Structure 1
């Protein structure tokens, strides 16, 4: 059930609207009460912000939005934009989080504090603090402007990946003229093998950093059609090899292992990748902190998620999603320096003068939410990588979903108590034998997308209809990737299309839906309303 409005059926429908935030709006085509209310709210905000202790201009402090910026938000010209009075424009993404510098639209602000602009979807109000992004090498910046490289960026990344991508990638969805979509089916997992290949087998993935490095470029391109392929460039591959050798800390560790293996009289050698980076959460670690080369079976103190990579033989092992190098091993072109990712030891930062009852543990969802935001005066390599960014987002979503499932699986005792150890479900599906009761993993109603989650929302919709009656209007709101807000946002990313930034499309769409519902409620275009559900 989507949007439902109950109104007077004989109310005349009007589609003319242009509030103060609309480009080139004219009060003659708008509801007077709505326009007056919007103007008063804007003037009230500007006055309260002007009375603040120290309003700072945007250019002087990038993390404080100036009064001039707030006022210019509502002063776009129809002549410069060319919009009609019917279009409701949400303007540009020119607001900045005061804690982490993430860029937001004005409409995404928290409504609890009218005297200041506050956002918490990026860093939880300053409690999430990660290392500042290093500027990528100039070679990577230049390659992002190369159309041939961007069209094949996933192939280049797979060529240098140190772990295999274990998922069934469905490319049939891209047959045709539609936008590119990265789609996988089944579970996503990463496998890593031994340092050296079996006799008679060609090197793959991590082995390409160790074995036969004199012909490394040809060995890498062998799996993509060889040196004569027209889609990939041999020169780009050679330059990327040199770049990762000098910048990536994981690659440096593997190259050191290669040098040790080539020496004579070297005992049995292994690489241990640490699952605990240490207490330096806010700094990028060196190769010595990421892993170590060990001899024999003396591993020392080993934690749960440590990776022990054998020199030869052994079966491929799965990289745990909680390992800090989980993403860096799979996406070397996104994490050029081999920087670690999420691991369970990360904590939230304490804010002076603020008390919170929430746990201090940094969740996986918080970590990745922090990553996927453009920030003021930061390059944002992750968000500029087009199709590779789509693959990364799919991997992130699968990791978060699997982490939630693991939590549910580890807390089945509490869930069983809630559902009487499965008796409710057993009777519902007609089971009569005690051995069948409680044998399944129960997903609670709080698990998004689960059967109980859908059923609870279904009951909520029925309750609304029981109180307010059946909906008179069932409205479908569609998204347009050519909306002016999206096109203006992507002007600074000339090599990207709207399809490469699905996060921006989703954010703009959500703001548009919220604004559309607000217009229907304020101006009563469809009549007086009693209830809305969307």
Structure 2
């Protein structure tokens, strides 16, 4: 499912820079090197950092991006403190040559090339509205400092506030500009509108968090995937129902808004008409998929936390009484959140699935067959759709699609066509690495 009967219509990657596209698709030495170390290049030039405990699987298998625990997205001030090295957007307001040498000289980027950093730094300065907004703020700081010296007064504080518009034209084809994504304020903080959330200061003692529902999280964290600053998902994104009467059934879906899952499914789907950098990002694609799925789960968990009464989870009186009685005399525990059985992968969900399977056994007896189905990364359907130089681990989205289609075809043979005999009942489970 990519666009829910054409109700999801988004304009993405249509203004992708030609020079950067050549780096994604090229077969020269620089292009291959760029794709090999794309996570280093992206994370070094990102205006927001993704912080997580990365735990790659043990062994010598294909590359797998895996995280453990909470994931945070954060950004810093315009300038680093005196004892700190430039990070996040602080690198992007530096001179291109100085920034390229600074980034290439870091230990974590020992295998990266200054020439590629120089190219990417210059490209983002020319095409990315968020980079241009940070540079605009730096210019305002410079002008304010100069004017304060000439007038013999105290330098006023300068802050940049990212615009908080959530409803935009999703089919917009032109790229945003610096003045559309942020506003720079000089003077008292009381002048800043209260409904706006992300504020960049000249210097901050620590990184500031970006809410996982913020539409700026993706373009700030993945500038090499969204070099023109295209928005990520936000809760107000609407489905397009203008062509409802053209559908065979004449009935729209129940939701009027685009869900996170639908949004990211749309981005990951292959379309011949538009170049999609995600399909050529290799290791960075894995990071982006993991990051996106964590946001989806965080949103679902937050919904359950805020809607305990509507979901009737607070009516489990016996369980609550047990919790309140199971204390050690130090006072009542904090608020307990009951995870619904509808949350996929949760404890109550797993227990419910197990009980459903056992009810089949209790009625029909022990199963006769236990069949396993494993994905083969060298299947022709996978290999034939890889770009030159790619391996199957570079396209986890392609592997998942092919495997799911194979599983459906296999179940159709066994269950519907009954090639192994009459099927009285069955249950299935899946495990994904």
Indicate conservation of the 8 Å contact 1:421/1:437, yes or no.
Answer: no
Higher RCO (Cα < 8 Å, 6 or more apart): 1
Name 1:521's counterpart in structure 2: 415
Residues 455-480 of structure 1 deviation map (CA, whole Å, 9 limit, x = unaligned):
11111111111222221111111110
Structure 1: 5+ residue runs without aligned partners? Answer: 1-120
1-structure distance, mates of 2:416, 2:257: 41
Indicate conservation of the 8 Å contact 2:176/2:228, yes or no.
Answer: no
2-structure distance, mates of 1:299, 1:393: 39
| Aligned-residue offset at 1:316 | 1.7
| Aligned-residue offset at 1:164 | 1.8
Name 1:338's counterpart in structure 2: 229
Q: Secondary structure at the match of 1:165?
A: strand
- Count of matched residue positions in the alignment of Structure 1 and Structure 2: 405
Indicate how the Cα distance of structure 1 residues 335 and 458 shifts in structure 2: closer, same or farther if over 3 A, else same: same
2-structure distance, mates of 1:464, 1:449: 21
Q: Secondary structure at the match of 1:394?
A: helix
Residues 185-214 of structure 1 deviation map (CA, whole Å, 9 limit, x = unaligned):
111111111111112322111111235666
Q: Secondary structure at the match of 1:489?
A: coil
Name 1:253's counterpart in structure 2: 133
Name 2:79's counterpart in structure 1: 196
Candidates 479, 483, 501, aligned match of 2:379: 483
Q: How does 1:65-464 map to 2 (within 5 A)?
A: 121-144=1-24, 145=26, 146-171=31-56, 173=57, 175-176=59-60, 178-211=61-94, 215-224=98-107, 229=110, 231-263=111-143, 264-265=146-147, 267-283=156-172, 284-296=175-187, 297-303=189-195, 306-351=197-242, 352-353=244-245, 354-356=250-252, 358-415=254-311, 417-424=312-319, 426-427=321-322, 431=326, 439-464=335-360
Indicate how the Cα distance of structure 1 residues 221 and 460 shifts in structure 2: closer, same or farther if over 3 A, else same: same
| Aligned-residue offset at 1:317 | 0.9
Residues 413-455 of structure 1 deviation map (CA, whole Å, 9 limit, x = unaligned):
234x445255336549983899758831111011111111111
Structure 2: 5+ residue runs without aligned partners? Answer: 149-155, 429-433
| Aligned-residue offset at 1:234 | 1.1
Query: Once superposed, what is the RMSD of the aligned Cα atoms?
Result: 2.4
Q: TM-score, normalised by structure 2?
A: 0.87
2-structure distance, mates of 1:310, 1:524: 66
Indicate conservation of the 8 Å contact 1:322/1:342, yes or no.
Answer: yes
Question: Which range is displaced more, 312-321 or 471-480?
Answer: 312-321
Residues 113-171 of structure 1 deviation map (CA, whole Å, 9 limit, x = unaligned):
xxxxxxxx111112112114315323222322322111101001111011122101124
| Aligned-residue offset at 1:280 | 2.6
Q: Secondary structure at the match of 2:63?
A: coil
Q: TM-score, normalised by structure 1?
A: 0.71
2-structure distance, mates of 1:357, 1:439: 36
| Aligned-residue offset at 1:371 | 0.8
2-structure distance, mates of 1:412, 1:270: 39
